[in-house]
Amino acid sequence: MALPIMAKATAVWLVDNTTLTFKQIADFCGLHELEVNGIADGEVGQGIKGFDPIANKQLTADEIQKAEQSPIYKMELMYNAAADGEEKRRGPRYTPLSKRQDRPASILWLVKFHPELTDGQISKLVGTTKPTIQALRDRSHWNIANIQPIDPVALGLCKQLELDAAVQKAAKKAAKDGVAISDEERSKLVSTEQSLSMDTEPKIPSSIGGLENFTFGSDAVEEEKDEPEINVDNVFKKIDE
């Protein structure tokens, strides 16, 4: 299905200027309903200026009116002859400079809550390299003590639809290969809403790792040997002599 240009900005405009359902806007803009809900709540797309799809020849006012009258109506993008034959650009995902520092946190989230994803899938989702993913998997990353797992969708590094598709693909491949996800790993798989409401887990910096088992105080010192008991009478007897 063809999608409008500046899809998220278009969704912002539709949320602010129409009574369309979140699903209608999500279907038209190629977003997830949770993203549209986040736009309406002001949690997603902050600072994005709405992009008028009517003025930019992507929708007609009649099409929007039909959709407003029927919640199950799906809007169609206006035909653009200039877009015929246009193919999606292939290549690594571009990540804005302002968000590149958030990639380790998103990778750690994916590794923790979706262990079934391959390094290639994670790399494609958030635009990173396999060595970085491996360093976060085995916790050898130079800044691992200061990284907290954060949902890449919440960080704006990928779309919920892309994440869902990658997870489903990985699950199907695991089932086909006969690899079952353990109950412990399955218990880690949570939705975006659940992950955002989780408390941050306390972490021990790697530089002092192991000190939690170190014993301080008198218990850490070897027991002193028993000293012979002093006879007070003998001491004073020697003094008198």
Of residues 26 and 241, more confidently modeled: 26
CA angle centred on 155, ends 93 and 201, rounded to 5° = 125
pLDDT of residue 134: 92
- CA–CA dist 219, 232 (Å, integer): 31
Residue 190: burial class (beta carbons within 10 Å; 0-12, 13-18, 19+) = middle
Alpha carbon 34 to its chain centroid, in Å, reads 14
* Cβ neighbours of residue 67 closer than 8 Å, sequence gap 6 or more: 18, 20, 24, 73, 74, 75
Helices 7-17 & 33-41 angle (0-180, nearest 10): 60
Confirm if 21 and 57 have CB atoms less than 8 A apart: no
pLDDT of residue 118: 92
How confident is residue 200, by pLDDT bands cut at 50, 70 and 90?
Answer: very low
pLDDT digits (tens, 9 = 90+) for 148-195: 999 888 888 888 888 888 999 988 887 877 655 555 555 445 554 554
Write down how long the chain is. Answer: 241
pLDDT digits (tens, 9 = 90+) for 70-91: 999 999 888 765 444 444 545 5
